[in-house]
Amino acid sequence: MSTPWHVLGAGSLGTLWATRLARAGLAVRLIVRDAERLRSYNAAGGLTLVEHGEANTYAVPAQTTDDPEPIRRLLVACKAYDTENAVAGLASRLTADAELILLQNGLGSQDAVANRVPQARCISASSTEGAFRDGDWRVVFAGHGYTWLGDVAHAVAPIWLDDLDAAKIPHAWSTDILTRLWRKLALNCAINPLTVLHDCRNGGLQAHHCEVAILCAELIELLQRCGQPAAADNLQQEVERVILATAANYSSMYQDVASRRRTEISYLLGHACKVATRHQLHLPHLNQLQVRLVAHLHSLGLPSD
Ligand code: NAP
């Protein structure tokens, strides 16, 4: 029998992956927090994916974290701030040749997981797919995109990429995944916090061109200093392109704040500021942006870590 895909985190991305893998006939197990969530899931009868307006439910078998089944392939689909603890809770179930696929945005959580489970192979992902929950156990596939996967420690691609082909999950193996993750983080730092502070859609940042340009200059300095010059290439032009191309959209951080959800700030702007400090780089505008964002989150009574 083929190796089952254990999916940790039945949220937006976890559901998007679990349903497509299951629909391709692959073995999938959903891992939920506790017995109460398991009861709720079983009562719902499965995971529902809404695609092109059509809803389909997939009865993916589910289990709690303390299930005894060994885990050889684990797709980690929690928020960055939950990941380390969630994986630690499964450490005793991981086989000696276990592989983890980490879907988290930003940087920092991947290293935390790798340190927690040093015996496992950790593969990072960077995705442009978009999904959101419109109910418990129900997810809308909002934006088709692409997922790059890579392993900073071993360049060889895993054999299970065939499963992603079968599941029609558009993907590519990347030998420079760290550069991709840094590039995405830099784009996020230049756009998302400002949309929160200026209370605007992405396109609203066209009125703050200078502020964006100064941030890009500091981010380029940071990327070059931390050994990621390719992630710095034409950063400002791409930031401007993204602002135009997504002018009508609200950034993910804006949506988190508007819905009073915890943001992933520590793994995005917070991570950039932390790395700058480690390299003794003085980036006043990036630091000031973090101070302003943290104060704003506090003023709303939201967590700032
Ligand atoms: P999400 O919808 O909030 O889902 C996270 C899931 O993790 C929730 O279902 C949560 O359970 C579960 N979880 C947390 N701790 C757990 C634990 N200890 N045991 C079991 N389950 C646990 O988040 P998301 O939007 O899918 O985002 C996941 C990651 O993907 C983030 O880093 C995000 O930035 C990144 N990403 C998302 C998208 C997107 O379009 N959504 C796109 C690209 C990247 P409960 O349901 O019980 O709370």
1 pLDDT higher than 80: no
- Ligand 1 centroid–CA 134 distance in Å is 14
Among residues 79, 168, 184, 274, the one annotated as catalytic is 184
Q: Which atom of ligand 1 is nearest to the CA of 131?
A: 40
Q: Which residues contact 175 (CB under 8 A, 6 or more apart)?
A: 150, 155
* 19-52 residue pLDDT tens: 999 999 999 999 999 999 999 999 999 999 999 9
- Ligand 1 centroid–CA 79 distance in Å is 4
Q: Whole-angstrom Cα distance, residue 222 to residue 286? A: 10
Q: Which atom of ligand 1 is nearest to the CA of 128?
A: 43
pLDDT score for 81:
98
- Which residue minimizes the CA distance to atom 20 of ligand 1? 33
* 245-262 residue pLDDT tens: 999 999 999 999 999 999
Report residue 2's pLDDT band, with 50, 70 and 90 as the boundaries: confident
* 119-130 residue pLDDT tens: 999 999 999 999
What average pLDDT does the segment 209-234 reach? Answer: 98
Q: Whole-angstrom Cα distance, residue 215 to residue 207? A: 15
pLDDT score for 10:
96
| pTM (two decimals) | 0.97
Q: Which atom of ligand 1 is nearest to the CA of 85?
A: 18
What average pLDDT does the segment 255-276 reach? Answer: 98
- Ligand 1 centroid–CA 82 distance in Å is 8
Q: Is 77 in the pocket of ligand 1 (CB under 6 A)?
A: yes
The first and second tokens of residue 25, run together, are 């006939």
Distances (CA, A) of 43 to 62, 78, 200, 227: 12, 22, 40, 50
Cβ(64)–Cβ(41) under 8 Å?
no
Q: Is 10 in the pocket of ligand 1 (CB under 6 A)?
A: yes
Secondary structure letter of residue 104 according to DSSP: -
Q: Which atom of ligand 1 is nearest to the CA of 132?
A: 41
- Which residue minimizes the CA distance to atom 48 of ligand 1? 11
150 pLDDT higher than 80: yes
- Any idea which fold 5-175 has? Rossmann fold (3.40.50)
Ligand 1 site-directed mutation target among 31, 78, 146, most atoms within 8 Å of CB: 78
What average pLDDT does the segment 135-147 reach? Answer: 96
Q: Which of 146, 78, 148, 147 is nearest to 113 (CA)?
A: 78
184 is annotated as an active-site residue: yes
Please tell me the CATH code under which domain 179-299 is placed: 1.10.1040.10
- Ligand 1 centroid–CA 131 distance in Å is 11
Q: Where are the domains of the chain?
A: 5-175, 179-299
Q: Is 256 in the pocket of ligand 1 (CB under 6 A)?
A: no
Q: Whole-angstrom Cα distance, residue 125 to residue 143? A: 17
- Ligand 1 centroid–CA 164 distance in Å is 20
Mean pLDDT of the chain, nearest integer: 97
Residue 287: CB atoms within 10 A of its CB come to 16
6 pLDDT higher than 70: yes
User: What SS3 state is found at 148?
Assistant: strand
